[in-house]
């Protein structure tokens, strides 16, 4: 490391932070990066909304007595500030029950909450108000995804008083460009931002407003969660309408790969799996496999059977439909399939159909279960991710540590983290699909099964995979270096 970072103060605002709230990888990252930064000597304070699920997950959180006022639509609302700790980092919860005390973080069964714009306008204003209430002169305000994008605009707005954040630099991390926080332009007056920000050089996005774009335009620096995704999003094919803006900010955009928290995700210590195992002794994986098959109601297979797992949001992005389309041909081979996910009703229905058509061979659990996610990682032979795009992807990173071979699309962070296995040299950690299509998936899965049928090669692949280190150390240092460069500007 170049210089000591003891004096750097970070205020990190995220819409979800594990273990207090999580819908995907962002929650994991916002929960594991801050402790890693703290270990590097930085002071990190976190802020997030106090959702119903967070109130349950943080029973020891206490009311600080601080009160904030901010606008939500036409109303000024007050919020209480509650506090908990995450491995030594203070976590401040913005408690505004009318906005956040409900089932779901951003949506329920009937779709996105209609007041999401107000919920996150309020949250972004509360971030600045919190710094004022705490008199916390952060050097860096680190924002995550569209829900926090407006905070970058407030820091730059001539109409807001940033208080102790007057000298702060802002950094926005893009976890997924597909979530853009797009709302009607009539919302703009509710933001309290000056009219000049209601323009192409501001929040305006194809005739609407995008809260993500506020972050892309007004943050001092941008990161995304893998180097390859940083390149992809600057192209029309991967930019989702934001490629022009991102290309114009190329000098401010860096790809920093997400890290894994092996304290949570390691077969040697995992709290959720029936038996631990390690590269020196993989025997425990067998017990995990039996447990997995039982939980998913699948026929106990012989040792030659391949158990393939899918864990993730059931969204178009993740390609569960590609797996479903490939499944009838795939299941002609000796394969069991475990699918864990929740999401789009049409994909949930497709998964259910698949299980019905192949009883005993395909098991589907349509729920969000941390415990089952760990069990699939440990018990499966293959982790299938036929994603159409994937900013980083954590599942394949976890899978490597569990000696579970990732079968992934050659896109985004998947390409940065999975090395194709070469049977002639014995190098590599997984299998890549050229395109996210059923035929390519089948081809990659057959390659995986061919390898698995050769125990020496398979052992070699597993050991390669388990030896890869994606822990936060080096990547957290990259963030610290970036903060430092920003702070001296
Ligand atoms: P994304 O952030 O796009 O959802 P990632 O692969 O980066 O995808 O992270 C997914 C995280 O969410 C992993 O920790 C994974 O275990 C978890 N996850 C996704 N779906 C479920 C589910 N149904 N139950 C439990 N955990 C899930």
Taking the centre of ligand 1 as the mean of its atom positions, its distance from the CA of residue 418, in whole angstroms, is 18
pLDDT at 5 over 60: no
User: Could you tell me if residue 276 is inside a domain?
Assistant: no
- In this structure, are 248 and 170 located in the same domain? yes
How far is the C-alpha of 188 from the C-alpha of 159, rounded, in Å?
14
Residue nearest to atom 20 of ligand 1 (CA): 312
Question: From atom 9 of ligand 1, which residue's Cα is the shortest distance away?
Answer: 25
Model confidence over 95-111: pLDDT tens digits? 999 999 999 999 998 89
Q: Which atom of ligand 1 is nearest to the CA of 265?
A: 14
Residue 476's pLDDT band, with cuts at 50, 70 and 90, is: very high
395 lines ligand 1 (CB under 6 A): yes
Is there a single domain that holds both residue 142 and residue 20? Answer: yes
Beta bridge partners of 205: 208
d(CA 157, CA 137): 18
358 & 432 share domain = yes
Tokens 């929960």 -> residue: 31
pLDDT band at 433 (very low <50, low <70, confident <90, very high): very high
Q: What is the mean pLDDT of residues 152-156?
A: 98
Residue 7's pLDDT is 80
Say how many C-beta atoms besides its own lie within 10 A of residue 456's C-beta.
8
Q: How many domains does the chain have?
A: 2
- For residue 238 and ligand 1, the question of a CB distance below 6 A is answered with no
- Please, what's the largest Cα pairwise distance for the chain? 68
Going by CA atoms, what residue is nearest to atom 19 of ligand 1? 312
Tell me if 342 CB under 6 Å of ligand 1: yes
Asked whether residue 272 is assigned to any structural domain, the reply reads: no
Q: At what angle do helices 320-330 and 438-452 cross, to 10 degrees?
A: 60
Q: What is the mean pLDDT of residues 449-460?
A: 97
Mean pLDDT computed over every residue of the chain: 96
Minimum-distance ligand 1 atom for the alpha carbon of 225: 7
Task: For residues 475 and 139, give the distance between their C-alpha atoms in angstroms, rounded to a whole number.
Answer: 20
SS3 track for 417-432: HCCECECCCCECCEEE
How big is the CA angle at 89 (ends 83 and 94), to the nearest 5 degrees?
A: 30
Q: Is the CB of 338 under 6 A from ligand 1?
A: no
- For residue 397, the CA-to-ligand 1 centroid distance in Å is 12
> Average pLDDT in the 417-437 region?
98
Quote the ligand 1 centre to 395 CA distance (angstroms).
Answer: 7
Structure-token pair, residue 267: 């077969």
Bridge partners for 72 per DSSP: 75
pLDDT average, residue stretch 472-476? 94
Backbone phi and psi for residue 86, each to the nearest 5 degrees, phi listed first: -125, 105
Asked if pLDDT for residue 4 goes beyond 50, the answer is no
Best probe residue, ligand 1, of 21, 27, 313 (max atoms within 8 Å of C-beta)? 313
Q: What CATH number is associated with residue 173?
A: 3.40.50.2000
> Does the pLDDT of residue 139 top 90, yes or no?
yes
- The four Cα atoms 71, 184, 178, 75 give a dihedral, to 10 degrees, of 10
Q: How far is the CA of 346 from the centre of ligand 1 (A)?
A: 19
311 & 434 share domain: yes
Same-domain status, 13 and 104? yes
CA–centroid distance, residue 24 to ligand 1 (Å): 4
Ligand 1, closest atom to CA 366? Answer: 23
1 belongs to a structural domain? no
User: Is the residue at 277 inside a domain?
Assistant: no
Q: Give me ligand 1 centre to Cα 387, in Å.
A: 13
**Residue 392 domain-assigned (yes or no):** yes
Q: What is the pLDDT of residue 3?
A: 45
177 and 99 together in one domain = yes
Ligand 1 contact, 24 CB (< 6 A): yes
pLDDT digits (tens, 9 = 90+) for 227-257: 999 999 999 999 999 999 999 999 999 999 9
Question: How many CB atoms within 10 Å of residue 284?
Answer: 18
Order of strands across the sheet with 182-183? 182-183, 208-210, 204-205
Percent of the chain's residues with pLDDT above 90: 95
Q: What is the mean pLDDT of residues 211-237?
A: 97
Overall average pLDDT of the 256-285 stretch: 97
Q: Are residues 241 and 325 in the same domain?
A: no
Answer yes or no: do 383 and 423 share one domain: yes
Which pLDDT belongs to residue 233?
Answer: 97
Ligand 1 centroid from CA 297, angstroms: 22
pLDDT band at 74 (very low <50, low <70, confident <90, very high): confident
What is the 393 CA–ligand 1 centroid distance (Å)? 8
**In angstroms, rounded to a whole number, what is the distance separating the alpha carbons of residues 288 and 284?**
7
- Cα separation, 50 vs 354, in Å, equals 38
Band the pLDDT of 300: cuts 50, 70, 90.
confident
pLDDT digits (tens, 9 = 90+) for 344-394: 999 999 999 999 999 999 999 999 999 999 999 999 999 999 999 999 999
Domain span at residue 378? 283-467
Shared domain for 451 and 412, answered yes or no, is yes
Mean pLDDT of 119-134: 98
Least confident of 4-13, 245-254, 281-290: 4-13
Residue whose Cα lies nearest atom 16 of ligand 1: it is: 373
- 313 close to ligand 1 (CB < 6 Angstrom): yes
In a domain, 267, yes or no: no
Q: Is the CB of 230 under 6 A from ligand 1?
A: no
d(CA 174, CA 145): 5
Alpha carbons 198 and 306: distance in angstroms, whole number: 54
Instruction: Let me know if residue 113 belongs to a domain.
Output: yes
Q: What is the pLDDT of residue 301?
A: 77
Determine the distance separating the centroid of ligand 1 and the alpha carbon of 6, expressed in angstroms: 33
Mutate to test the pocket of ligand 1, among 24, 174, 263, 377 (most ligand atoms within 8 A of CB): 24
458 touches ligand 1 (CB under 6 Å): no
Q: Do 459 and 476 reside in the same domain of the chain?
A: no
Beta carbon of 28 within 6 Å of any ligand 1 atom: yes
Indicate if 348 and 251 belong to the same structural domain.
no
Residue 269 falls inside a structural domain: no
Selection from 298, 293, 273, 286 nearest residue 370 by Cα: 273
311 and 326 together in one domain: yes
Q: Which residues pair with 307 in a beta bridge?
A: 336
Cα(191) to ligand 1 centroid in Å equals: 31
Residue with tokens 């994008």: 149
């Amino acid at each position: 490391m170049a210089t000591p970072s003891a004096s750097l103060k970070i205020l990190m605002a995220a819409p979800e932070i594990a273990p207090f709230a999580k819908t995907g990888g962002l929650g994991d990252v916002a929960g594991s990066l801050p402790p890693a930064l703290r270990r590097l000597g930085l002071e990190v304070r976190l802020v997030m909304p106090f959702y119903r699920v967070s109130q349950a997950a943080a029973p020891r959180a206490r009311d600080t007595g601080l009160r904030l006022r901010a606008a939500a639509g036409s109303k000024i609302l007050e919020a209480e500030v509650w506090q908990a700790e995450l491995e030594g980092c203070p976590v401040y919860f913005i408690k505004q029950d009318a906005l956040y005390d409900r089932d779901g973080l951003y949506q329920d069964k009937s779709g996105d909450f209609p007041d999401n714009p107000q919920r996150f306008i309020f949250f972004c204003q509360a971030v600045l108000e919190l710094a004022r209430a705490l008199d916390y002169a952060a050097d860096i305000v680190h924002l995550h995804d569209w829900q926090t994008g407006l905070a970058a605009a407030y820091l730059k707005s001539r109409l807001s008083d940033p208080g102790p954040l007057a000298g702060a630099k802002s950094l926005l991390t893009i976890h997924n460009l597909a979530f853009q926080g797009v709302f009607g332009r009539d919302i703009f007056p509710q933001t309290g931002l000056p009219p000049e920000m209601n323009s192409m050089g501001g929040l305006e996005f194809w005739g609407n407003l995008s809260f993500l774009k506020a972050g892309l335009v007004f943050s001092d620096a941008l990161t995304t969660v893998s180097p390859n995704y940083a390149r992809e999003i600057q192209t029309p094919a991967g930019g989702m309408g934001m490629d022009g803006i991102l290309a114009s900010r190329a000098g401010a955009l860096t790809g920093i790969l997400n890290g894994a928290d092996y304290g949570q995700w390691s077969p040697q210590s995992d709290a959720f799996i029936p038996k631990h195992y390690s590269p020196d002794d993989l025997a425990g994986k067998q017990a995990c496999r039996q447990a997995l098959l039982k939980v998913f109601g699948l026929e106990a297979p012989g040792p030659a059977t391949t158990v393939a797992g899918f864990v993730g949001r059931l969204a178009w992005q993740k390609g569960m439909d590609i797996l479903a389309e490939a499944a009838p041909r795939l299941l002609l081979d000796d394969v069991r399939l475990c699918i864990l996910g929740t999401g789009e009703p049409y994909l949930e229905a497709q998964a259910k159909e698949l299980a019905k058509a192949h009883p005993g061979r395909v098991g589907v659990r349509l729920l969000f279960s941390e415990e089952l996610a760990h069990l699939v990682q440990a018990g499966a032979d293959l982790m299938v991710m036929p994603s159409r795009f994937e900013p980083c992807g954590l599942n394949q990173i976890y899978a490597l540590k569990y000696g579970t071979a990732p079968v992934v699309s050659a896109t985004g962070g998947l390409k940065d983290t999975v090395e194709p296995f070469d049977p002639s040299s014995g190098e590599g950690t997984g299998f890549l699909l050229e395109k996210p299509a059923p035929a390519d998936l089948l081809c990659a899965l057959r390659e995986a099964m061919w390898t698995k049928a050769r125990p020496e090669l398979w052992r070699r692949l597993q050991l390669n995979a388990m030896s890869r280190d994606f822990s936060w150390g080096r990547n957290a240092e990259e963030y610290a270096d970036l903060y430092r460069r920003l702070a001296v500007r």
